[in-house]
Amino acid sequence: MLITKKIEIDMGHRVPNHKSKCRNLHGHRYVIEVGVDGEIITENGSPAEGMVIDFGDLKEVMMDTLDKLFDHSFTIYQKDEFCNVFEELKAKGQKINFVTFIPTAENLAKHWFELLQPKLVERKIKIKFVRVWETPTSTATYEN
C-alpha cells in the first residue's frame, strides 16, 4: 500500500552555473511529498491498526529530518564562489546548509530521500519516492 504526506518549507538557494536568473540568490516555498510503501497493520487493538504508518508519525519524521534542517535556511553548493560569504553568515548564527551538489530541485529530491530513508527503515517503512515542488508547476521526483 502506498501512502503519501506533504510538508512545506521556505528555503533559499542559488544555481551558480544557471544560464538565467536562478544564478542569483533567491528562495522558494518548497512542497515536499514523500511516498512510503508497506503492509497495512492488522494487529487487533494496535493504535495503527488499518494503517501503513500513522500520517502524524510520517509527518514527525519529515519535520525532524527536513523541516528542522532546511526550513528558513539557505542551501549552497560547497564549491560555490560565494561560500566564504555564507561561512561568515553561518558563524554569525544564520541557518546555512553547505551541500556537495548544486541545490537544484532534482538534487534536493535525491538528497532528502537519502536523509529520510534510514529514519523510515528504523520504523520498517520503505520509502518509495520524494517529490519536490520548486514552484506550483515544477516538480522533481526521486525514486529508488
As a whole number, the mean pLDDT across the chain is 96
Predicted confidence (pLDDT) per residue in 59-106, tens digit: 999 999 999 999 999 999 999 999 999 999 999 999 999 999 999 999
Residue 60 is a catalytic residue: no
Q: Which one of the listed residues 8, 18, 60, 72 is annotated catalytic?
A: 72
Whether 34 and 130 have beta carbons less than 8 Å apart is answered as: yes
Instruction: Output the pLDDT for position 144.
Output: 86
Q: Break the chain into its structural domains and give their ranges.
A: 2-143
Residue 72 is a catalytic residue: yes
For 9-46, the DSSP string reads: EEEEE--TT-SSGGGS-EEEEEEEEEEEE-PPP--TT-
How is residue 102 written as a grid cell? 548544486
**Phi and psi at residue 68, in whole multiples of 5°?**
-60, -40
Distance CA 45, CA 72 (A): 40
Distance CA 66, CA 86 (A): 20
Residue 22 is a catalytic residue: yes
Mean pLDDT of 38-61: 93
Q: How many residues does the chain have?
A: 144
DSSP state of 143: E
CATH superfamily, region 2-143 = 6-pyruvoyl tetrahydropterin synthase/QueD (3.30.479.10)
